[in-house]
Amino acid sequence: MEQTQVASTSETAAPGAASALWVSTFAFTACFAVWTIFSIIGVQIKADLGLTEAQFGLLVGTPILTGSLARVFLGVWTEQFGGRRVSLIVMALAAAATFLLSYAETYPQFLIAALGVGMAGGAFAVGVAYVSKFFPAGRQGTALGIFGAGNVGAAVTKFAAPFVMLALGWEAVAQVWAGALLLIALAAFFLTRDEPQLIERRRTGQKPVAAWMQLEPLKDLRVWRFALYYFFVFGGFVALALWLPHYLTGAYGVGIGVAGMLAAAYSIPGSLFRVFGGWLSDRIGARKVMYLTFLISVVCAFILAYPATTYVVDGIDGPIRFRLAMSLPVFTAVVFVLGFAMSLGKAAVYKHIPVYYPDHVGSVGGLVGMIGGLGGFILPIVFGVLNDLTGVWTSCFMLLFLLVLTALVWMHFAVRRMERQRSPMLATLPEFPELAGVGPDRTAAASSTRPN
């Protein structure tokens, strides 16, 4: 049975909210830049070691695995010990692993180092649990949308890393990124304050909630449904952020510098427009935003999945040949739109969590983030396997098309089932219909949590 919890209706942000939000966003941007570092240096490492497509997919996906699996535990620890402390530890460990990466020489050594680099991805669960505590329910969508825009760190790596790598080698990229991450971690710790709940707990001597109680909401079916959505909108985003430079160099024959710049055309909207997605979820409802995300993504993935094809038609005067292929500018434009749609969906998924589970944001947000992050680990590997098996570059988009179509169909039937189980009046509410129980008293209570 799915349970419902309603967040506070206060519209006043806690003291220190602004610094917590903006400093945490900057720190998460640095973490994401480190987390996706193999999207650029991995191309050179692949050439140096003579890796197969599947081996390359495993290499770029390994950091995503660590950062994903750690999110549930990091989210719980953030609820218990505070976001500032946990964030400092996570970023320091990731910085150390990234620096040691520059000394790796064999493929197993690179994989081991990549596991440590992946700790940077766990910062997302820490930041969500930390930042959400400073804002009321009616503003959490926008606040978490701003924080989630730290995904733009992937674009930072794609813009800057090729130039550093071409000038000084991939080892210099790892060392510079590690040093920057450590400095930002220290700055974030000293420029922010602890979350209000943690301060109050210390003042009253109250003990933190036990870890097993933090995990209690994970039994709700709704949590796993949100996780499926995030598997596509975030996992698919991370997978393409890692895969596109390699895709562009192979499918279109461009250099790594140009590939990094063009791949950023996907990463930037997939990150910055997350702010707009959070604001839009506050205004029109997270469900409508999810429908918009999936419908646009289905269309884009279908277009991108169509491989370059040469046709031969038996004409009157002999065979007629013509070719259908997507030009590089058109590809870049469609990928831009896909990144935009995914950014809206990432914000919409996390709009739900503080509203439904205000006392378990760390564990629930951690699980949803973990499943989404696992998408970023699994999909690049599958992309590589599909390339090896089919020899078709667009096979990665074929897989994404099937994934988003499945998510859309599942969401639609889940929504229709909930509408049939409740009164027709409740089925027409613009967002969070699950918050409204059977009866007008519960309807009014749920409505009071919405900003519109």
Residue 365 Cα distances to 236, 349, 412, 415, angstroms: 18, 10, 23, 21
For range 208-236, the mean pLDDT: 70
Residue 434 in this model has a pLDDT that exceeds 70: no
Reported for 93-98, long-range contacts at CB under 8 A and 24+ positions apart, including other chains, are 93/119, 94/31, 94/34, 94/35, 94/118, 94/119, 94/120, 94/123, 94/181, 95/34, 95/178, 95/179, 95/181, 95/182, 95/185, 96/178, 98/34, 98/37, 98/174, 98/177, 98/178, 98/181
* 432 lies in some domain: no
What was the pLDDT predicted at 448? Answer: 36
* 315 lies in some domain: yes
* 437 lies in some domain: no
If you average pLDDT over each of 1-10, 153-162, 400-409, which comes out highest?
400-409
Residue 183 in this model has a pLDDT that exceeds 90: yes
* 9 lies in some domain: no
* Mean pLDDT, the chain, whole residue set: 79
* 290 lies in some domain: yes
If you average pLDDT over each of 133-147, 179-193, 348-362, which comes out highest?
179-193
Residue 213 in this model has a pLDDT that exceeds 80: no
If you average pLDDT over each of 62-76, 308-322, 386-400, 414-428, which comes out highest?
386-400
Residue 98 in this model has a pLDDT that exceeds 80: yes
CB-based contacts of 202: which residues, under 8 Å, 6+ apart? none
* 234 lies in some domain: yes
Q: pLDDT (tens digit, 9 = 90+) per residue, 51-97? A: 887 788 788 888 888 888 887 778 778 877 788 889 899 999 999 99
Cα separation of 376 and 381, whole Å? 9
What was the pLDDT predicted at 429? Answer: 46
What was the pLDDT predicted at 89? Answer: 92
What was the pLDDT predicted at 9? Answer: 42
What was the pLDDT predicted at 441? Answer: 37
DSSP 8-state code for residue 312: E
Residue 443 Cα distances to 18, 358, 430, 449, angstroms: 33, 19, 13, 10
Hey, what amino acid is at 268?
I
What was the pLDDT predicted at 217? Answer: 54
Q: pLDDT (tens digit, 9 = 90+) per residue, 291-324? A: 999 999 999 999 999 887 878 888 877 788 877 7
Q: pLDDT (tens digit, 9 = 90+) per residue, 337-352? A: 998 898 888 888 877 6
Residue 6 in this model has a pLDDT that exceeds 60: no
Residue 21 in this model has a pLDDT that exceeds 50: yes
* 438 lies in some domain: no
- 258: exposed, middle or buried (Cβ count in 10 Å: 0-12, 13-18, 19+): middle
The CATH number of residue 168's host domain is 1.20.1250.20
CB-based contacts of 122: which residues, under 8 Å, 6+ apart? 66, 67, 70, 71, 74, 90
Hey, what amino acid is at 135?
F
Q: What is the extent of the structural domain holding 160?
A: 17-421
CB-based contacts of 108: which residues, under 8 Å, 6+ apart? none
* 435 lies in some domain: no
**Choice between 145 and 103, residue whose per-residue pLDDT is larger:** 103
Cα separation of 40 and 165, whole Å? 9
Please provide residue 12's backbone torsions phi and psi, each rounded to the nearest 5 degrees: -105, 125
Residue 3 in this model has a pLDDT that exceeds 50: no
**Choice between 376 and 271, residue whose per-residue pLDDT is larger:** 376
Residue 252 in this model has a pLDDT that exceeds 70: yes
What was the pLDDT predicted at 301? Answer: 93
E strand or H helix at 251: helix 237-251
Please provide residue 315's backbone torsions phi and psi, each rounded to the nearest 5 degrees: -90, 175
Q: How many domains does the chain have?
A: 1
